[in-house]
Amino acid sequence: MNAAGSSRTALRRLMVEYRALQKNPPEGIFAEPLGEDFFTWEAVIAGPPGTDYEHGVFTAEINFPTDYPLNPPTMTFTSDMWHPNVYPDGTVCISILHAPGDDPNMYETSAERWSPVQSVEKILLSVVSMLAEPNDESGANIDASKMWRDDRARFSEVVRGTVRKSLNL
């Protein structure tokens, strides 16, 4: 399939996923294309109840490749985010967003990585789960990972500040 055909396939898939999200949105999650560009979406995620992120409202951008769903999108928080699995620039680092196939570092199985059966909804639900249960063994933000492991009270304090900032307080 050529690039134009791949792009049309990706666009059709993204339109189907958008309609599904509109019809049955997961609680605490909102996502939609930015304007007419179906390859760039804005997402809004409510902090999961019972976590340090509770009551926060976090925004992110999801950028889809033209060969989606063969390859995963990238997701970047546009609001401040202090989390072991989010790089300081806001880029989310979770298995579901890693390219399909074997992990060159042999940390993840191919089943944990991206596959075309994944969807925008599954990505967003995985991010909510990540917020609730960080993986400090695969830290994207080394400082947040270390704080999560060594000083949970301080970690909670920093996250509460991030939540207040997300609410413009």
pTM above 0.85, yes or no: yes
Check residues 152 and 105 and name the one with the higher pLDDT: 152
> Which residue spans within the chain are E strands per DSSP?
29-34, 37-46, 57-63, 74-77
pLDDT of 71 above 60:
yes
Q: What is the CATH number of the domain that holds 120?
A: 3.10.110.10
pLDDT given at position 139: 82
Give me the torsion for CA of 124, 157, 152, 145, rounded to 10°: 50
Lowest-pLDDT range of 22-31, 76-85, 92-101, 122-131: 92-101
Contact 81, 128 (CB under 8 A): no
pLDDT given at position 95: 87
Query: Beta partners for 45?
Result: 29, 58
pLDDT given at position 104: 58
Q: Is omega for the bond preceding 69 within 30 degrees of 0, making it cis?
A: yes
The residues carrying an active-site annotation are: 93
d(CA 123, CA 137): 20
Instruction: Over range 54-82, report the average pLDDT.
Output: 96
Which pairs count as long-range contacts for 144-147, CB under 8 Å and 24+ apart, including other chains? 144/82, 144/83, 144/84, 144/86, 145/84
Give the total number of structural domains in the chain. 1
pLDDT, one tens digit per residue, over 90-118 is 999 998 998 876 665 556 666 677 889 89
Quote the domain boundaries for residue 158.
Answer: 3-167
